[in-house]
Amino acid sequence: MKFRGVAALSAVALAALTACGSGASAGGGGDITVGLAISTLDNPYFVALKGGAEKAAAELGVKLTVVDAQNDATNQVNQVQTLTTQGVKAIIINPVDSKQAAPAAKAAENANIPLVAVDRSVDEGKVVSEVASDNVQGGTLAAIELGRAVSGDVVHLQGIPGASAARDRGQGFEQGLNSGGIKVVASQPADFNRAKGLDVMTNLLQANPAIKGVFADNDEMALGAIKALGDRAGKDVAVVGFDGTPDGLKAVEDGTMAATIAQQPEVLGRKAVEQAVKAARGEAVQEVVDVEVKVVTKKNVAEFKK
């Protein structure tokens, strides 16, 4: 977690004085408008995160303005810069790329608007609060679970290389490899995308036909890998995903996915809005908010299905 020059009280006090917005008054929100710059809504995980944020905003009586970067880091910077001119009193960013989010953080700082990072960190820039799952722990749990399911060669489908979640999950996965008899023979990015997961997995299978397992940095890529594996998925090849999306949970239930590391995207969205509203009001915020991750297998998947 990186927090450079965090000065929550002074920054948010300035933001409360200089920013203006329009919103409902219920719940003490007053005229607070919060901007949410999300990496992509072409992923059910982030749709759920947005839903949690919207529920929290409604309960707190504030207005939430959502912009979708469509996984384009440059577009996201432009969107945040635009938000700073629209009277928002706080901005939540779910970075496409943690490093490339630096100009967005700078734009918020220059406008005296407090910035909250959610799900992924901002590598450079002032952030008053970071709300995220413990992705390193999740990656370690994934390695342990994959090691329980199989022994032998496995491949790792990585997320967007610049995203902190991909880095952290990969780090945790490497840390957990010594817990079982698995060996990574290939790692390749598939950008958290199901279609790319299918394509990358198809190519990896040609070079590594005898693999016994797959770890994917999210459920979307895992589902793409499952499609590439066909009848082998859940039989002689175990697949472990990450996120606990509805489709991922169904795959666990069906037996084509051995496990997924479930995050709580609705909780992440909710807590990010709560911290952003506190910042907008000039109240003290929690610098780091950790949201628990959990291992989901066929034995306990019913507990996670809604």
Indicate the SS3 state at residue 116.
strand
- Tokens matching residue 88: 């928002």
Nearest CA to 272 out of 138, 166, 120, 84 is that of 120
**CB atoms closer than 10 angstroms to residue 135:** 28
Domain 135-263+297-303 class in CATH: alpha beta
* pLDDT tens sequence across 282-299: 999 999 999 989 999 999
Residue 3 has pLDDT above 70, yes or no: no
**Per-state percent for the chain, helix, strand, coil, to nearest 5:** 45, 20, 35
User: What's the angle, vertex CA 69, arms to CA 64 and CA 74, rounded to 5?
Assistant: 125
Domain 8-132+264-291 class in CATH: alpha beta
| Residue in the structure block whose two tokens are 């996984």 | 71
* pLDDT tens sequence across 54-90: 999 999 999 999 999 999 999 999 999 999 999 999 9
**CB atoms closer than 10 angstroms to residue 161:** 12
Q: Which residues of 103-126 are buried (b: 16+ CB within 10 A; e: fewer)?
A: bbbbbbbebbbbbbbbbbbbbebb
Q: What is the pLDDT of residue 29?
A: 53
* pLDDT tens sequence across 173-182: 999 998 779 9
* pLDDT tens sequence across 212-251: 999 999 999 999 999 999 999 999 999 999 999 999 999 9
Residue 189 has pLDDT above 90, yes or no: yes
**CB atoms closer than 10 angstroms to residue 35:** 27
Q: How confident is the model at residue 5 (pLDDT cuts 50, 70, 90)?
A: very low
Q: What is the pLDDT of residue 180?
A: 77
* pLDDT tens sequence across 190-217: 999 999 999 999 999 999 999 999 999 9
241: which strand partners? 260
Q: How confident is the model at residue 30 (pLDDT cuts 50, 70, 90)?
A: low
* Residue 283: φ, ψ to 5°: -90, 160
* pLDDT tens sequence across 116-172: 999 999 999 999 999 999 999 999 999 999 999 999 999 999 999 999 999 999 999
Tell me where in the chain the CATH 3.40.50.2300 domain(s) lie: 8-132+264-291, 135-263+297-303
